[in-house]
Amino acid sequence: MKVTLAKTAGFCYGVRRAVELAEQTAQSGRACVMLGSIIHNDHVVEHLARQGMGRVDRVEDVPEGAAVLIRSHGEAKEVYDQLQARGIEIIDATCPSVARIHHLVQDAEARGRQPVIIGLPTHPEVMAIAGWCRSPVVLRDCDALAAWLAEDAKRYSLPLTFVFQTTSTRETWKNCEKFAKKECTNAELFDTICNATARRQSEAQELAAQSDVMVVIGDHQSSNTRHLAELCQACCGQVYWIEQADELELERWGEASCVGITAGASTPGWIIKEVKTKMSNETKMEIEESFAELLEKSIKTLNTGDKVVGTVVQITPTDIQVDLGTKHAGYISMSEFSDDPSVKADEVLKPGDQIEVLVLRVNDGEGVVSLSKKRLDANKNWEEIEDAKENKTVIEATIREENKGGVVANYKGVRVFIPASQTGLRRNEPMTGLVGETVKMHITEVNRSRRRVVGSIRSVASEERAARSKAIWDTIEVGKHYSGTVKSLTSYGAFVDIGGVDGMVHISELSWSRIKHPSEVVSVGDPVDVYVIKYDPEKKKISLGMKDPNENPWETFLNRYSVGDVATVKVVKLMSFGAFAEVVPGVDGLIHISQIADHRVEKPEDELKEGDIVDVKITDVNLETRKVSLSRRAAMQGAAEDEE
């Protein structure tokens, strides 16, 4: 016969903590009584009684001078008030998960909401939770919730906040969640089911489905053990719920070959060990490990500064609950989640996700561990920054603000100062435009103790420009086309960045038309298409052209006119020796002073002015020198002859 032992069995953290507090108090010799049974297990209560820990059921019965141990299920706020009024020392063994529910219902009522507690109304834990709000509503399950809501429409007058008994089943939670989201406006649901309980129940169901016999160990007063037995009965034909080893009836198991065993959260290790020992002595069973050993394996020691990996259990507006697989309940406050205020925990995490965190503080008294993801990330990010400086790695960061003398970037929560001289901007150019931009930079200085980091955008830009420049000079050739950007203008041309190298487009190469200044064609920042006319690698000079050969105006001119044709032209410039006139855009011809009129002309401006439209005869075309000779006089004579 093979026995499979559940991994999660026996004392849960809250119970173990309560029992340890009770034992420590009893062994200290102080007069102390527990208020009610510390946990649902008579064997444990009797064990503590033998050590000197008494028990009372009412505050009035607490002996003078004695301290009071609050049980793991917790007590109502009124009980605390009564004890404090009498000056009685309180040793609070309330399970941290239960204490958290007390805060949730108290806060919900303070915010004008109606607390709704889902759980067994007579259970001590539920009764204690109800005692932390003035008008609690306690409902057993989803059916009771539906009936309560159906009784009176006024139930909807306040928004509802739901909490659950820590030992409730996942099925109860899911049913209530689905119903509340459908029927209730602005409902607020907190998954307060203990993660260890949920894991214990899930493991028990899985084990029961694989076993011929299932043994559930735990006190018959224990609610969580009852749930375990019920879940196992749904999956296995033979389920035995026992409190101790002498209740085992092995002869009833018949020919069972597989036996599964689990234990409730209030079951002490010694009872589990007794059951295991009896089964080993009376039958030949294959038992790999004792429950006590498995239980000890599940308990890890935590210290401040430890890096640990846990499982996200629940995300609330104020904190994130993390299961660390230890006897402590782990919490990350929202202020310790991320340095980036735009990051929302519920958008990047969900229950069940693994998360690595840093232990900030271990409170054994309350059984709580304060955790931080932000600080762990910060440590990692500092290491990344130090590595980036050491290896001259390029990192990307977002500029958050302009500061005196420079700008400040945020790299994963670490501030990086970039001096104005290292921004890559021109002198006196406003730095405001960088705010909000994601930039590449080198880290040039790191001092973690002073939390000082200095970066340089310019050095990265210089490296990238040098790499692009090399690539261009390695592949440049006459006639090659590039897409560039106009960087600056002069009276004689435009300088164009073709991707790491600047080339110059002479004014004569900007347009086929006659222009007086490059600004007539391009502006700084314009994207342009250019081609290489010539280049000098030694002097690092490149001459570029921008005129499209397909739009050569001489081709237009020659296709339209021949020597002897009369053309209508526009006077564009007057000189002492004549006037230049545009025949077609990009082709000018000279009207010599002797050809301006049919009579003697002293000065061209006596007959013409810039902008005049006149008829001329084309008298000569020199394709080599690209010169055209025009005669207004000949055109005038031809017109006179036509009139005769």
Question: Which residues are catalytic, by number?
Answer: 125
Nearest to 547 by CA among 583, 581, 572, 518: 518
DSSP annotation string for 13-34: HHHHHHHHHHHHHHHHT--EEE
Cα(387)–Cα(60) distance, integer angstroms = 66
Give CA–CA dist 35/52, Å, rounded. 14
CA dihedral 281, 287, 293, 299 (to 10 degrees): -140
DSSP letter for each residue of 192-229: -S-HHHHHHHHHHHHHHHT-SEEEEES-TT-HHHHHHH
Q: How far apart are CA 274 and CA 74, in angstroms?
A: 30
For residues 539 and 105, what is the distance between their CA atoms, to the nearest angstrom? 80
Is there a contact between 498 and 484 (Cβ–Cβ < 8 Å)?
yes
Half-sphere CA count of 337, side-chain side, radius 13 A: 24
Ramachandran class of 588: left when φ > 0, alpha when ψ lies in -120 to 50, beta otherwise: beta
Residues 6 or more apart whose CB falls under 8 angstroms from that of 189 comprise 161, 162, 176, 177, 180, 181
Return all residues near 550 (Cβ < 8 A) that are at least 6 apart. none
Using an 8 Å Cβ cutoff, are 173 and 314 in contact? Answer: no
Nearest to 621 by CA among 531, 578, 559: 559
Which ranges constitute the DSSP H helices of 352-456? 374-391
CB atoms within 10 A of CB 394: 13
In this structure, what are the phi and psi dihedrals at residue 553, rounded to the nearest 5 degrees?
Answer: -65, -20
Q: What are phi and psi of 131, to 5 degrees?
A: -75, 0
For the chain, helix (H) and strand (E) counts, in that order, are: 16, 33
Q: How far is Cα 345 from Cα 444, in angstroms, rounded to an integer?
A: 33
To which H or E segment does residue 622 belong? strand 613-622
- Helix or strand (DSSP H, E) at 575: strand 566-575
Name the residue with tokens 């301006």.
596
Euclidean distance between CA atoms 79 and 102, whole angstroms: 13
